[in-house]
Structure 1
Amino acid sequence: MTARTMSLRLQLFVLIVTPLLVASVLLGFWRFNVAQTTAEALFDRGLLAAALAISRDVEISEGDALSPRTRDLISDAGGGEVFYHVTGPGGIYVTGYAYPPAQSNPVQDAPPQYTFASYRGEEVRVLRMSETTTIGNLTGATVVTVWQRMSDRSAFAAALARRAAALIAALMATLVVVVWFGVELGLRPLKGLQDAIQKRSPNDLSRIQRPVPAEVSGIVETLNRLFGQVERNIQAHQAFISDAAHQLRNPASALLSLAETLPDVQDPQERGKRQQELIRAARKSARLAEQLLSMERLRYGEQGLDTPFELNDLAQTVCADLGPEVLRRDLAFIFEPCAQDLPVRGDPVLMGEAVGNLIDNALRHGGASLGRISVSTGLRDGKALLSVSDDGCGLRPEASERAFQRFGQLSPSDGSGLGLAIVKEVVTAHGGSVSVDQVAQGTRLTLTLPLAQNAEEPATGA
């Protein structure tokens, strides 16, 4: 049972939303830090404004009291309580809270100084500033100390961060919804293409004409190319079946007629003649069936074309098998192997049948003038060669196209018309070629095959 994969819509959604979620988390941390920094700056400025206002009121009132405006400023500063303590010349307490946070380094006419301290068990932010003032008949340094709880600042920063987080969350939720439905809209042409293909009948292999986005056009072109290949393959297969049925009908009818008449023949001589005819018809039918099976094997069995074998040895074996048949017809039969080894890769059974078909073609179509059949191997331009020649009636190179077609025959004969077609398909499947050579007399067919390894021997034979 195969594992189910995520839908394309979900994959795109995850790929788009995941980086956005990561970016939103990073943005949230950044906004939190910015909120803290902003709160620190705002509260520090609020402390400074309160300290300046207090210093001014102390100087104007000569230490008596703070103005109502200053009191309102202190009470509303940054949304948190502000504490203050003021001492006049000589360190005399003037106003504010009696016990300020401990002061490590007294300030004298120094710019405002910010520090952290502890006040009543809580961490506070402290601002101290000193100015020379005159209160009554005393002139000296007036020290203003203001402080604020850090918890108030943290609460303010957290409120800012929560607002920013809420805004980011709302934006992310909006983006998630937009991306989810946007991906669905973007994939709608694919679903339309799927529906159009599903509605086709099994016999409809025509090109897909439906307009699709540019990103999908490559898939559609590949499908159209595949449809074309399948259609051509089916047509070729149907044509082959039709031709094969036509070719098998005559031998089958002949076998049936001979078999039906044989029991009625009483004359021993005539009976023997009919038996020989029956044997020849059976052999022809068997040969035709073997060739048809070979054609189908070539069509569907190309995965086994990687066995190493020696072409000289293969040719010698085929010649040894067919030699008795050639010699029985009182013909000269010559085999001339190449002096060098000819290692090739492929299917030795199919290649042996191809060589046998070349020899059989010479036997069947050589005509009355046929007196010699020669098989030779050679090496030229780094490729192995195998030639079968005869001195018969001859095959012109310009007629080779018809000769290599299935069931193609140049003249009436007892052949099936499949021999040379099988040769061509076998050699093509092995990465080679077959040609009809121009010779002075007879016919010479040459197979050219790539060597299994690079060999640079001098050109010889064939």
Structure 2
Amino acid sequence: MKSMSLRLRLFLVILPPLFVVSALLGWWRFEVAQETSEELFDRSLVSAALAISRDVAISEGDALSPSTRRVISDAGGGEVFYHVTGPGGVYVTGYAYPPRPETPVARDLPFYYFATYRGEDMRVMRMIENRTIGTLTGDTVVTVWQRVSDRRAFARELAFRAAALIFGLMAALALIIWFGVQIGLRPLNDLEAAIRRRSPEDLGPIRRAVPHEVSDIVSTLNRLLGQVQDSFEAHQAFISDAAHQLRNPAAAILTLAEALPHVHDAAERAHCEEQLVDAARKSARLSEQLLSLERLRYDESMGMAPFDLNTVVEDVCRAFAAKALSRDLDFAFAPSEEPLLVLGNSVLVGEALINLLENALKHGGGEMTAINVRTSSDEEGFMITVDDDGFGIPPDKISTAFRRFSQLQYGEGTGLGLAIVEQVMVRHAGRVDLVPSETGATFCLWFPRVAQA
């Protein structure tokens, strides 16, 4: 399934919160519009009441002048009803029956309340003043009221205007974000184009100016390219070394095979055949070790299962005992008294132990008399120890001994045994140590307890 583009992802991340904020802002603006309209309309009622009171006083109770009516209508924002009574409650002007308040009205202060007038909700303002109308002096009551629906319509209009403005701003902001993200991602597009133009052989680091937020990605990619290049170079070096190492036994087999038909003496022919078999055996062993080394480096599918280290070591020692005894060597195995459960690959561990034993057999020298194998444990892990009383390995030659195709002295080995041992232990999160000893060589294969079943 195709993943969402980064541009659309950023758009969807940025815009929805803005829509939520705009919705909250619109709701707040609607509430403010209602409060504002109420305040404005209440002030217009006060203005209308003052204008009516002034006009009544000036005209001594006559009907309102046309100019005052126009002012009331313009200032009210809708139809305004009024009712005026003079001193003694005498009707002066206006509509006959005004809405009545449920509570007494304070003097000299505008008093607001809601009431129903002719089946409609009204906002009413009543004001009591001491006035002289003609020859009468006393309290003049001015009542002014207006439809609530007119006020709400005005509030809705204010809210709709604000909503239209917010919607326009959000639409403009969405366009800005959409094209702004495209412009902001242009360095990534340039980086992608630069990587696409590279050839498979070009594994050098990417040297291109990128935004700070992407610099870590480029650094990680450069590190990965460096690791791939190192792995590729190591692989090429391994192939070159393997071809060089296989050339000698292949040439020996070819030489012996070409010479064999021309040998007529039975004893010499038997010796030549024995040499041919031995050369073929060495070539097969070298090929097997090369495949084992590559499988350890690149094959991650090798299964791990719990097994008893004592059992694997004992099986290997039983198979190797005949070869050691044929050399007139003392060969002994001392297992641990307790089971040593390890989580790993028993075949690989056995291969590592065989390489250590064959390494001792081939490079221990003619003075070597014994090879000992034992298993043990401590608080941190389990050990397989292989020691002999042969030539040993000088401390300054340890790194060379574990290098592929390297030999401390000329012999019949391939130079891969210890390299395979090291790779096996790396696969099992362990290590191989060359323990200092007075005579011979002592190797210790260490397995951590965290890897046990």
Pairwise TM-score range, normalised by the shorter structure = over 0.9
Which deviates more from structure 2 when the two are superposed, residues 4-13 or residues 94-103? 94-103
The aligned length equals 452
Cα deviation per residue 1:194-243 (whole Å; 9 max; x = unaligned)?
11111111111111121222211111111111111111111111100111
Give TM-score scaled by structure 2 length.
0.93
Question: Is this contact kept in 2: 1:396–1:438, CA < 8 A?
Answer: no
Report the Cα offset of residue 108 of structure 1.
Answer: 7.5
Which deviates more from structure 2 when the two are superposed, residues 299-308 or residues 44-53? 299-308
Question: Is this contact kept in 1: 2:343–2:451, CA < 8 A?
Answer: no
For the pair 1:425 / 2:388, whether they are aligned, the reply is no
Change (3 A) 1:105 1:305: closer
Q: Equivalent residue for 2:76?
A: 78
Cα deviation per residue 1:384-415 (whole Å; 9 max; x = unaligned)?
22222222233212211111100001111111
* SS state at 2:258 partner: helix
Q: Equivalent residue for 1:20?
A: 18
Q: For 2:53, which of 52, 55, 58 is the aligned residue?
A: 55
Q: For 2:230, which of 229, 232, 247 is the aligned residue?
A: 232
Question: Is this contact kept in 2: 1:345–1:451, CA < 8 A?
Answer: no
Q: For 1:141, which of 134, 139, 142 is the aligned residue?
A: 139
Aligned equivalents of 1:346, 1:107: Cα separation in 2: 96
Paired letter, 1:44: D
Q: For 1:347, which of 337, 345, 351 is the aligned residue?
A: 345
Report the Cα offset of residue 105 of structure 1.
Answer: 5.6
Report the Cα offset of residue 7 of structure 1.
Answer: 0.9
Change (3 A) 1:452 1:175: closer
For the pair 1:311 / 2:309, whether they are aligned, the reply is yes
Q: Equivalent residue for 1:460?
A: none
Q: For 1:290, which of 285, 288, 301 is the aligned residue?
A: 288
Aligned equivalents of 1:399, 1:106: Cα separation in 2: 112
* SS state at 2:311 partner: helix
Matches within 5 A, 1:22-41: 22-41=20-39
Question: Is this contact kept in 1: 2:381–2:449, CA < 8 A?
Answer: yes
Aligned equivalents of 2:211, 2:398: Cα separation in 1: 47
Q: Equivalent residue for 2:161?
A: 163
Report the Cα offset of residue 107 of structure 1.
Answer: 4.7
Question: Is this contact kept in 2: 1:109–1:141, CA < 8 A?
Answer: no
Report the Cα offset of residue 135 of structure 1.
Answer: 2.8
Aligned equivalents of 1:437, 1:25: Cα separation in 2: 75
Report the Cα offset of residue 305 of structure 1.
Answer: 6.2
* SS state at 2:244 partner: helix
Change (3 A) 1:374 1:79: same
Report the Cα offset of residue 87 of structure 1.
Answer: 1.9
Report the Cα offset of residue 439 of structure 1.
Answer: 2.5
Q: Equivalent residue for 1:444?
A: 442
Aligned equivalents of 2:179, 2:301: Cα separation in 1: 47
Matches within 5 A, 1:299-448: 299-302=297-300, 304=302, 306-380=304-378, 382-448=380-446
Report the Cα offset of residue 257 of structure 1.
Answer: 2.8
Change (3 A) 1:444 1:106: closer
Q: Equivalent residue for 1:265?
A: 263
Structure 2 spans left out of the alignment, 5+ residues: none
* SS state at 2:444 partner: strand
Q: For 2:199, which of 180, 198, 201 is the aligned residue?
A: 201
Report the Cα offset of residue 71 of structure 1.
Answer: 2.4
Aligned equivalents of 2:334, 2:99: Cα separation in 1: 116
* SS state at 2:365 partner: coil
Q: For 2:5, which of 4, 7, 15 is the aligned residue?
A: 7
Aligned equivalents of 1:134, 1:438: Cα separation in 2: 126
Q: Equivalent residue for 1:191?
A: 189
Report the Cα offset of residue 154 of structure 1.
Answer: 1.8
Paired letter, 2:126: R
Which deviates more from structure 2 when the two are superposed, residues 226-235 or residues 98-107? 98-107
Q: Equivalent residue for 1:93?
A: 91
Cα deviation per residue 1:25-75 (whole Å; 9 max; x = unaligned)?
111111111111111111111111111221122123220233454223212
For the pair 1:45 / 2:43, whether they are aligned, the reply is yes
Change (3 A) 1:442 1:112: closer
Q: Equivalent residue for 1:222?
A: 220
The RMSD of aligned alpha carbons is 2.2
Change (3 A) 1:131 1:296: same
Paired letter, 1:146: V
Aligned equivalents of 2:161, 2:153: Cα separation in 1: 12
Structure 1 spans left out of the alignment, 5+ residues: 455-462
Cα deviation per residue 1:323-362 (whole Å; 9 max; x = unaligned)?
1111122222122223343332221111111110011011
Aligned equivalents of 1:77, 1:176: Cα separation in 2: 40
* SS state at 1:384 partner: strand
Q: Equivalent residue for 1:459?
A: none
